[in-house]
Structure 1
């Protein structure tokens, strides 16, 4: 199964290669992700609601223009830009990392929550859950107050998660979705609740269902 993926922000060649390597490492047998940069017209970070809307419009445009030869399309973003809008608009399924990862918690009866790098992303995760009809299944989204550089600094990201995950666990969360598609946590990190890598879980589910 070949999946055409599109970044939600403009990234340089090194970051594109890092994300592509991450997909290769996480993809189960039979799943191939071909990741493409969205282009220089896109924002370089999702720090505001306006940037999120700009990114979403460009992802929709990019996926509508995707080349033939793929079995599915997927935004490289836990905010699922364009996933709801493109339903039935492409000749292939449009897969969403949040839809799959949060959906698994919903279907298995787990209490889910999430963490996000900033408030704009937190608000959008909550909004996406509402679009999918799962607002009551998302306990909350804690904000980590991290900048873009933390995405590639796994120790710093993990350090910022401790208090947030503890807060969500005390509120009853069993699953905490890590609200970024491109973050690797260091091995051996112990947190108060199960932290879900939305990309890793989504790829496992796609592999199981192909």
Structure 2
């Protein structure tokens, strides 16, 4: 299975290589993931709603032409699912979204879920997307980490900021939290918890990597 993707923001060669390597590691056996650099008009980062709108336009333009090369899917490298249609568009190469796949899976398995994002602009856009997909009743909202763009490749810094947010969600009974950045390598967290012998296990919240889960779901779907 071959998947075509495009970066949502302009990054240097080293960061693009890091992202490509990450997808290579995440891709299940038999999947080939091609990540292209950001298209024309893409911003350098998501700092404002205007940046997100410019990125959406850029990604949509980059993916709108039917690709050659035998691709099975197009999937933007962005948890905000830019360019992903809400209704079927009749394309022989569907455009799928990692947020849509992730949220649909969590809803289908009966889980109320939240999300963490780097800043408020991204958080608002993610919440709007969840509403567009019709998953609002299952959504517990966004916790904003207030991190700068340089935190994305800094795994330790990002995951340290996330831990407090996960505790906050767990206190509300939320057990799944979507990591609101497709380019971050998240630490594995224990979703089950472990209490003292004879006492109930504490509620813990698991951080969900939307890129990892989306690729696994697409691979599983190929077998249906």
Superimposed CA distance per residue, residues 10-68 of structure 1 (whole angstroms, 9 cap, x where no aligned partner): 11111111111111101101211100011363101011100000100111100013531
**1:157 offset after TM fit, Å?**
0.3
Instruction: State the alpha-carbon separation in 2 of the partners of residues 4 and 175 from structure 1.
Output: 28
Q: Which residue of 1 aligns with 2:60?
A: 60
Structure 2: tracts of 5 or more residues without a match: 194-203
Matches within 5 A, 1:170-209: 170-186=171-187, 192-209=204-221
C-alpha offsets along residues 69-126 of structure 1, whole Å, 9 cap, x if unaligned? 2111010000001102684153211110100111110000011110000001100110
For residue 189 of structure 1, report the CA deviation from its aligned partner.
8.5
**Corresponding residue for 2:200?**
none
Between structure 1 and structure 2, the one with the greater Rg is 2
- What is the root-mean-square deviation of aligned Cα atoms in Å? 1.8
TM-score (norm 2): 0.88
In the alignment, structure 1 segments of 5+ residues that lack a partner are none
Alignment match, 1:4 = 4
Mapped partners of 2:174, 2:43: distance in 1? 32
Deviating 4+ runs (over 4 angstroms): 186-191
State the 1:187 CA deviation: 5.9
- What is the 5 A alignment of 1:142-157? 142-157=143-158
* In 2: Cα distance, 1:66 partner to 1:158 partner: 37
Correspondence 1:72 to 2:73: yes
